[in-house]
Amino acid sequence: MSDKYWNKPIETMSRKQLRELQLKKLKALVKHCYDDSPFYKRKLKAAGVTPGSIKTLEDIQKIPYTIKTDLRDNYPMGLVAVDSADIVEIHASSGTTGNPIIGAYTKGDMEAWQEGMARSIYTAGGRKEDVIHIAYGYGLFTGGLGFHYGAQKIGTEIVPASGGMTQRQIKLMKDLGVTILCCTPSFAVYLAETMAAEGVNPKKDLKLRIGMFGAEPWSERTRERIQNALGLEPFDVYGLTELSGPGVSCECSEHKGLHIWEDHFFVETINSETGEVLPEGEEGELVFTPLDKMGMPLLRYRTRDISVIETDMCPCRRTHARMMRVAARSDDMLIIRGVNVFPSQIEYVVMGFPELATQYQIYVDRPDALDTFTVKVELTEDSSKTPSLDVNRLRCQILSKINNITGLNPEITICKCGEIPRTEGKAKHVFDNRKGKL
Ligand code: DLL
């Protein structure tokens, strides 16, 4: 290990060597999928692909894409391709309806994830001597434990703060001399505002030097705001549960995009309308094939995240491709307070209540640092006329169902039949007023 790189031979290997390594791993992965995953055996056979079809990296284009619906339809463990006794950990994120998207990991998958996370923290400048405050949620969400495992591998002192209790978090950061802050960018802004309100001067009272922010889109303006308020260097970290969690890619101190750890992930960009593979440098939807993930392997997973890939040499000398910041998605997934929410999840809850009409609206805003989330529903004509209807009870029931699926507590507004405007064409369900405020 040199001072600058966590794994110099891997991080700086020539692109030719990197592609050879990817091809070797891809061949083994396709064979594993064909031999051990009934789901992929069917899919590959239908496309006329056998393990022998993969002779070059370009041959990956013969394999059909995998989409979120494939995961939902095979919930919970239908995509597992190892003996269930070899699964050692489960994580999950929001699915499009009631079922979460499950990530199932073998010991080897955990080691690859931990390696990617350690490399990401190290690339951002984190060292054994640092004190790392992890304010991503712990539990099924991959944020908290993903950072935890990576920091553990480096040997950094870990403060597993998780979410919530902002004042106590600030006290701990001060008293423990925290040097690295890991959380969503919106929580970082909120922390900075709370510090200002409490009379804490982060530049004087705290020892923060690095911030590792991700799990939701954020802009250059937010980066400047966080940097100025907290006096640390912010780094963008990207990942998703389906691929392992955070640590798929991370910025280096050049801040010229996020290095994708290509020994672990094969990346393509595609036109999200046509599915056509795009040349390097063109904006499109990111498609990843995780090369080391054996428990729940995925081939050509469509992320719906829009970005641009560059492979020219970064001044840091790392050869791994860089993805530009993800600012948009090609589907309707909302990220509210770092939590993935699909309008279809809300619809699923609303449709489960006979007292409610089919109209509903979702309002998201960011008046200050944190997102607000309101769900407006409408009573049916019959229930509007039922004097005995307990609206408060109904509100609590709706809230509890939405909370069960998303973990969030939106404000629930119940209105009378006909109050939500009808449109002739497509109904507009989502009003995301955060645009331009990120
Ligand atoms: O958000 C994993 C993660 C945790 C990444 C902590 C970074 C830090 P999921 O909950 O499965 O996993 O959500 C994945 O979040 O497809 C993107 O749309 C979005 N996302 C994640 N990181 C970024 C980022 C985690 N740096 C979904 N910038 C992804 C923009 C991001 N969007």
According to the model, what pLDDT value does residue 425 have? Answer: 65
| Range with the poorest average pLDDT among 232-246, 365-379, 422-436 | 422-436
On the question of pLDDT at 211 being above 50, the answer is yes
User: How does residue 88 score in pLDDT terms, banded at 50, 70 and 90?
Assistant: very high
User: Based on the number of CB atoms within 10 Å of its own CB, is 85 exposed (0-12), middle (13-18) or buried (19 or more)?
Assistant: exposed
Q: Which two tokens stand for residue 170?
A: 């600030």
On the question of pLDDT at 243 being above 80, the answer is yes
Of all protein residues, the one whose alpha carbon is nearest to atom 4 of ligand 1 is 143
Find out whether 361 and 296 touch, Cβ atoms under 8 Å: no
On the question of pLDDT at 438 being above 80, the answer is no
| Range with the poorest average pLDDT among 41-55, 81-95, 338-352, 397-411 | 338-352
Ligand 1 centre distance from Cα of residue 288 (Å): 14
Ligand 1 centre distance from Cα of residue 216 (Å): 5
According to the model, what pLDDT value does residue 1 have? Answer: 44
Check residue 417 and give left, alpha or beta (phi > 0: left; psi -120 to 50: alpha): beta
According to the model, what pLDDT value does residue 423 have? Answer: 67
pLDDT tens digits, 112-154: 999 999 999 999 999 999 999 999 999 999 999 999 999 999 9
Average pLDDT score over the chain: 94
- Percentages helix, strand, coil for the chain (3-state, rounded to 5) are 35, 25, 40
Which residues on adjacent β-strands are paired with residue 269?
A: 286
Q: Give CA–CA dist 195/421, Å, rounded.
A: 42
Return all residues near 178 (Cβ < 8 A) that are at least 6 apart: 131, 132, 133, 159, 172, 206, 207, 208
According to the model, what pLDDT value does residue 137 have? Answer: 93
Percentage of residues in the chain having pLDDT higher than 90: 84
Find out whether 121 and 151 touch, Cβ atoms under 8 Å: yes
- Would you say the CB of residue 216 lies under 6 angstroms from ligand 1? yes
On the question of pLDDT at 336 being above 60, the answer is yes
- Would you say the CB of residue 238 lies under 6 angstroms from ligand 1? yes
DSSP assignment string, 60-124 = GGGSPPB-HHHHHHTTTTTT--S-GGGEEEEEEE--SSSSPEEEEEEHHHHHHHHHHHHHHHHHT
Find out whether 58 and 306 touch, Cβ atoms under 8 Å: no
pTM above 0.85, yes or no: yes
Ligand 1 centre distance from Cα of residue 215 (Å): 3
To test ligand 1's pocket by mutation, which of 213, 219, 223, 240 has the most ligand atoms within 8 angstroms of CB? 240
According to the model, what pLDDT value does residue 424 have? Answer: 64
pLDDT tens digits, 59-77: 999 999 999 999 999 999 9
Q: Which helix (H) or strand (E) holds 334?
A: strand 334-336
On the question of pLDDT at 316 being above 60, the answer is yes
- pLDDT (average), residues 157-168: 95
- Would you say the CB of residue 340 lies under 6 angstroms from ligand 1? yes
pLDDT tens digits, 383-421: 999 999 999 999 999 999 999 988 999 999 999 988 998
On the question of pLDDT at 362 being above 60, the answer is yes
- Tell the residue number behind the tokens 């960009």, with chain if given: 269
Ligand 1 centre distance from Cα of residue 438 (Å): 15
DSSP assignment string, 230-242 = H-SEEEEEEEEGG
Q: Which atom of ligand 1 is nearest to the CA of 236?
A: 26
Return all residues near 92 (Cβ < 8 A) that are at least 6 apart: 100, 101, 102, 103, 140, 141, 241
- pLDDT (average), residues 101-109: 97
- Would you say the CB of residue 269 lies under 6 angstroms from ligand 1? no
The full set of domains in the chain, from first to last, is: 1-325 (3.40.50.12780), 333-432 (3.30.300.30)
Of all protein residues, the one whose alpha carbon is nearest to atom 12 of ligand 1 is 240
| Range with the poorest average pLDDT among 44-48, 145-149, 337-341, 424-428 | 424-428
Percentage of residues in the chain having pLDDT higher than 70: 98
**Angle at which helices 15-36 and 38-46 pack, to 10 degrees?**
110
